[in-house]
Amino acid sequence: MVKKAFQNPKGGLNAKGRAHFKRTEGSNLKRPLKTGTSGRRVSFAARFGGMAGSMKKKNGEPTRLALALKAWGFSSKEAARNFARRNKKS
């Protein structure tokens, strides 16, 4: 579970969260890409488009999954899956 201080309220990690992850894990996480067909964005769309879980909480708020998809420029899991299918490398 990620601390709230490291979560971007609009989805994903904020800069402080990415810096913390780099210090503790040694990984170099990058910001979400909202547009384009780079391999990172296609890979994200394929992974998150297939994730189980609801897009809304019981109280009607978007889940972290929905926020992450929005941060990457996708309106739904279906939109992410379609994007991944269209742009996968053969």
12-71, pLDDT tens digit by residue? Answer: 888 999 999 899 999 899 999 999 999 999 999 999 999 999 999 999 999 999 999 999
Residue range(s) defining the domain that contains residue 70: 34-90
52: left (phi over 0), alpha (psi -120 to 50) or beta: beta
Specify whether 14 is located in the same domain as 45.
Answer: no
Beta-bridge partners for 72: none
In this structure, the answer to whether residues 55 and 75 fall within a common structural domain is: yes
Same domain, 66 and 79: yes
79 and 39 fall within a common domain: yes
Confidence grade of residue 2 (pLDDT, cut at 50, 70, 90): low
What pLDDT is recorded for position 6? 87
**Tokens 């210090």 found at:** 23
Q: Are residues 44 and 58 in the same domain?
A: yes
Please state the domain count of the chain.
Answer: 2
What's the whole-model pTM score?
0.83
Based on the fold, state whether residues 39 and 78 are members of the same structural domain.
Answer: yes
Q: Is 49 in the same domain as 90?
A: yes
51 SS3 class: coil
- Pair 76, 43 in one domain: yes
